[in-house]
Structure 1
Amino acid sequence: MRHRQLGTTGFDVTEVGFGTWNIGGDWGDVDEEAGREAVRAALDAGIDFIDTADVYGDGFSEQRIGEVLDERGVREEVTVATKAGRRLDPHTADRYDYENLSKFVDRSREYLGVETLGLVQLHCPPTEAYYQPETFEALDRLRDEGKIDHYGVSVEKVEQALKAIEYPGVETVQIIFNMFRQRPAELFFEEAARRDVGVIVRVPLASGLLTGELSRDMEFPENDHRNFNIEGEAFDRGETFAGLPVEDGFDAVDELREHVPEETTMAQMALRWILDHDAVSTVIPGSTTPEHIEANAAASEKAPLSNQTHGAVRDIYEEYVFDSVHHRW
């Protein structure tokens, strides 16, 4: 597995990491052993960067990660990034303060079983939070106290990412970027590279659309966000199918099929497309299926896509996606 530097953190991480939203909730039921087995599969595939959050199963994901890292004895070899803030109720910008963030960080330290969290990311706070310096001063204080080593942000919109990296302590930005969400490759990637900010790409497969394995008549469990968040009923619509109306997504996927390279799955093509952008530090597909996790990791070894394929992807994006998505995030 190839590695890339994660901004100025000093972490050298696999360019395909592992996202654990799938094992922590909003994707149907996952029991404890299935969660542990998914983490084991990621480690077996050579992955050494794992992303989680304190709200994924209300700590379920963090706990399973900590258990497996102890079981394997690989804590020093694996970089774990978690997130904080979405447990706030109400979820308002003014509550992103030292008192609340400190409580969340302490809980994550306990669940992950560490004294110091390697990387903490603000978890998609309201836009106003990026304009209040006291939020980032709170993170500086937590770092000075030794509770966290590094911090970054997880954002919904390019505007938020560009504002966040104006703060010198922000070393990473996690953002949605895929063949159906191409806007970050414009100004944000340029600025992130100029400031040496690590870029963590989430939702790379557009909630499964870009695997090519979903069908138009597929039904999802009631507790799967692809059932209950289609119009953004529970959280930002852009987290589900990249914000694209699902029928348009299927039409675009049908067009993409003819451009998938030989001996490559559509999911691997989608991941390779992301990795062809030099500003990206790591991409974090999630799954609870060991075979899918292994196949996702293998995208790192695939050859870069041709200029012709990149052009075709852009043409499909402009025909099926641009008008619905590009301006919103």
Structure 2
Amino acid sequence: MLYRQLGTTDLMLSAIGMGTWNIGNQWGQIDESTALATVRSAYDSGVNIFDTAESYGIPAGLSEERLGKALIGIRDQVHMVTKIGRWGRRTGQTVPMTTVDMIRLCTHASLHRLKTDYIDVMLCHEGKIEDPSIYLEGFEQLKDAGTIRAYGISTDRLDVLQRFNTHNTCSVVEVDYSLLSRNPEQEFLPYCQAHGIGVLVRGPLHKGLLSGKYSSETQFTDTVRSEWYESDRSREKLNRKLAKVEQLKTALQPGSEMVSKALRFVISHPMQPVAIPGAKSPEQAQANAAVGDALLTPKECEDLIQLTKLPKTAGKTAVAAR
């Protein structure tokens, strides 16, 4: 496993981490013993960074609870990232994040579920926030108290990141980036590099599409990916992405080879981001971690990019047929 410093923090992280959204039943049911074994398998394979959020899981918080249980006895050997700002949104009543006390309340609730007395990286989970001042004030207080070690935001928008970094105190950002989602390369990642902001990559396999196991005939039924069918526009975007995957299949075998190339593409960016793919089994966690031992050359990355270039009309036929 390759290890790298996260921005200007003192955190030395495995190039491949593990996202724990998947172990909380939102991506389909998973029993607790399997969830805990998946986390430990990642750890045994060299992973030392685990990402979660207060809102992950059915019921909410289940991913944090399971992660906390899985890391009992090895907490001091790993790093935890969690997020606040979306508690209760899925069930219709959110916690109003309008005072520093609410920031502290949600943070201490996460500490309880994670069975820890500190969090390595705390992120704001409001990716479109207009005024982050309450978060910034609350996170600074929590950092001064030793409750959190670094903080930042999970967002795909540069303007939001810039507002969150208004005092140059944002240490970490989590962003959606993959072979199917390369927008961050244009301005987002260069901004992070210029300001020493460490980058965590969610969606490095684009919610499983870059495994190559799915096609336009696939019907996703989990509570996360079923949102892809909510409108004609979202279905069209899905089918264009699936068309790109079909192009990748002309050079890569679906499964382990495609997963390996997709994950290595992300961690090979000059910014040295840390990828946090999810996993639902010990075997999947082990396979993801194994990818973190090498990088792609610039030419290999460019070859993959060329394979994902499509005519503007690609993907529309499949939408019309549904």
In structure 1, the partner of 2:34 is 34
Mapped to 1, the partners of 2:240 and 2:116 lie a distance apart of: 44
In structure 2, the residue corresponding to 1:258 is in which secondary structure? coil
TM-fit CA distance, 1:229: 4.8
Q: Determine which of 279, 285, 299 is the counterpart of 2:291.
A: 299
Mapped to 1, the partners of 2:53 and 2:124 lie a distance apart of: 10
In structure 1, the partner of 2:102 is 100
Mapped to 1, the partners of 2:314 and 2:83 lie a distance apart of: 30
In structure 2, the residue corresponding to 1:156 is in which secondary structure? coil
TM-fit CA distance, 1:258: 2.7
In structure 1, the residue corresponding to 2:143 is in which secondary structure? helix
1:259 pairs with 2:251: yes
Mapped to 1, the partners of 2:105 and 2:264 lie a distance apart of: 38
Instruction: Write the mapping of 1:143-162 to structure 2, written as runs, cut at 5 A.
Output: 143-162=143-162
Mapped to 1, the partners of 2:313 and 2:158 lie a distance apart of: 17
Q: Determine which of 50, 60, 63 is the counterpart of 1:61.
A: 63
- Cα deviations by residue, 1:184-233 (Å, 9 ceiling, x for unpaired): 11222112112111000001111111110123323333x4311245448x
Identity %: 28
TM-fit CA distance, 1:245: 1.9
Mapped to 2, the partners of 1:322 and 1:123 lie a distance apart of: 33
In structure 2, the residue corresponding to 1:127 is in which secondary structure? coil
- Aligned residue pairs total 311
TM-fit CA distance, 1:315: 5.8
In structure 1, the residue corresponding to 2:22 is in which secondary structure? coil
TM-fit CA distance, 1:94: 7.2
Structure 1: segments with no counterpart, 5+ residues: 238-242, 325-329
Mapped to 1, the partners of 2:228 and 2:315 lie a distance apart of: 20
- Cα deviations by residue, 1:259-291 (Å, 9 ceiling, x for unpaired): 338996101111111111021330000010222
In structure 2, the partner of 1:87 is 87
- For the 8 Å contact 2:36–2:70, the answer to whether it is kept is yes
Distance 1:12 1:276, change over 3 A: same
Instruction: Write the mapping of 1:135-174 to structure 2, written as runs, cut at 5 A.
Output: 135-174=135-174
- Cα deviations by residue, 1:136-157 (Å, 9 ceiling, x for unpaired): 1121112223321211111132
Mapped to 1, the partners of 2:151 and 2:6 lie a distance apart of: 12
Mapped to 1, the partners of 2:167 and 2:79 lie a distance apart of: 23
TM-fit CA distance, 1:9: 2.0
- For the 8 Å contact 2:248–2:307, the answer to whether it is kept is no
Mapped to 2, the partners of 1:247 and 1:319 lie a distance apart of: 13
Mapped to 1, the partners of 2:170 and 2:251 lie a distance apart of: 37
Return the letter of the residue paired with 1:217. E
In structure 2, the partner of 1:224 is 223
Distance 1:194 1:219, change over 3 A: same
Return the letter of the residue paired with 2:150. H
In structure 2, the residue corresponding to 1:260 is in which secondary structure? coil
In structure 2, the partner of 1:327 is none
Question: What TM-score comes out, normalization by structure 1 length?
Answer: 0.85
In structure 2, the partner of 1:286 is 278
Distance 1:316 1:110, change over 3 A: same
Return the letter of the residue paired with 2:177. F
Structure 2: segments with no counterpart, 5+ residues: 317-322
- Cα deviations by residue, 1:46-95 (Å, 9 ceiling, x for unpaired): 1000000111122211111111211xx22111001111010165788973
Q: Determine which of 106, 114, 125 is the counterpart of 1:112.
A: 114
- Cα deviations by residue, 1:137-182 (Å, 9 ceiling, x for unpaired): 1211122233212111111323323333333221000000001111
In structure 1, the partner of 2:319 is none
Mapped to 2, the partners of 1:259 and 1:167 lie a distance apart of: 46
Return the letter of the residue paired with 1:110. H
- Cα deviations by residue, 1:106-151 (Å, 9 ceiling, x for unpaired): 11111111122221101134331xx343331121112223321211
In structure 1, the residue corresponding to 2:53 is in which secondary structure? coil
TM-fit CA distance, 1:312: 4.6
Return the letter of the residue paired with 1:134. I
Q: Which has the larger displacement, 27-36 or 200-209?
A: 27-36
Distance 1:301 1:320, change over 3 A: farther
TM-fit CA distance, 1:303: 4.3
Q: CA RMSD in A?
A: 2.9
Distance 1:40 1:276, change over 3 A: same
- For the 8 Å contact 1:220–1:227, the answer to whether it is kept is yes
